[in-house]
Amino acid sequence: MNPADATGAGAITVAAPAKINLYLHLLGRRDDGYHLLDSLIVFLDFADTVSVSLADGLSLGLSGPCAPALEGGKDNLVLAAARALAEAGGCQGGAAIELTKRVPVAAGLGGGSADAAAALLALAALWGLEIPAPGLADIALGLGADVPVCLESRPAFVGGIGQELEPAPSLPPVWATLVNPGKALATKDVFAAHGGGFTRPGRFTASLEDAGALANRLAPLGNDLTAAAAALAPGIGEVLKAIEASTGCLLARMSGSGATCFGLYADEAGATAAAGVFGAAHPDWRIDVARLIAGRSDLD
């Protein structure tokens, strides 16, 4: 698999699709404090992009509507990915990296993890590194629990602390309206606020024929971090109520550690109509409409 596209002048560009958790269960906690997860992660045609070209040394340029949230930070996961890959590949690792940031930061959409995964893929192609998939996955896990699943950007059940991936059954076409109440939540803070109690796995094997069947299958499941996130960002509760009440909504849920929530809809028209209603009533909310994808090849 080579997901990178040459874009002239030796540059390589890779998409970094946002993810949502259709469900997220906490199964337990290890002695080192990491939680054991069971989650169904899917990806969207709502994405950042990472472009790389050969250069002396490493540099990172930022652009896009969500770039200001990353400016002034001590470091960036994209640069961490570049350094880790260069070390693993035994190369000097010179590259000019350009990150176009469209996915909100600290929003439960895995934007930073997706950016890191895209950087690994783009730089491996740029530097001509032939690192086997398991080796690349090990590098990805060292960067963050969600980074390994972002390498493929295919629907997958995620277990362990993020390193155990199992392909999901075929999922039907479905659209999502993403709503964030304007809050950024740090994942570690939400996990720390989780009051305890664990849930059983929610995995299934049957393919589902349409969006309604998918929503019905997901309905008994949930996101075990919702209460903790809502305690830190009370607007989450209002967002979920609004999504649940919207016309055509099949399922309302928070993604990851929040604060972004989403509604699932059978078609683009339903998702777009709901987005219009939310935007009119709450101009301070961040709202996006996206389609679930089967993988990177489905981004065209």
Of 48, 146, 224, 288, which is the active-site residue? 146
250's tokens: 């099949």
| Residue 32 annotated to the active site | no
Structure tokens given for 196 = 């305890």
DSSP string, the chain: ----EE-STT-EEEEEEEEEEEEEEEEEE-TTSPEEEEEEEEEEEEEEEEEEE--SSEEEEEESTTGGGTTT-S--HHHHHHHHHHHHHTS---EEEEEE--SPTTSSS-HHHHHHHHHHHHHHHHTT----HHHHHHHHHHH-TTHHHHHHTS-EEEEETTTEEEEPPP----EEEEEE-S----HHHHHHH---------------SSHHHHHHHHTT--BTTHHHHHHH-THHHHHHHHHHHSTT--EEEE-TTSS-EEEEESSHHHHHHHHHHHHHH-TTSEEEEEEEESSGGGG-
146 is catalytic: yes
Kindly give the interhelix angle for 111-126 and 77-89, rounded to the nearest 10 degrees: 40
Q: Of these residues, 19, 38, 101, 115, which one is catalytic?
A: 19
Cα(170)–Cα(167) distance, integer angstroms = 9
Tally of CB atoms within 10 A around 241: 12
Catalytic residues: 19, 146
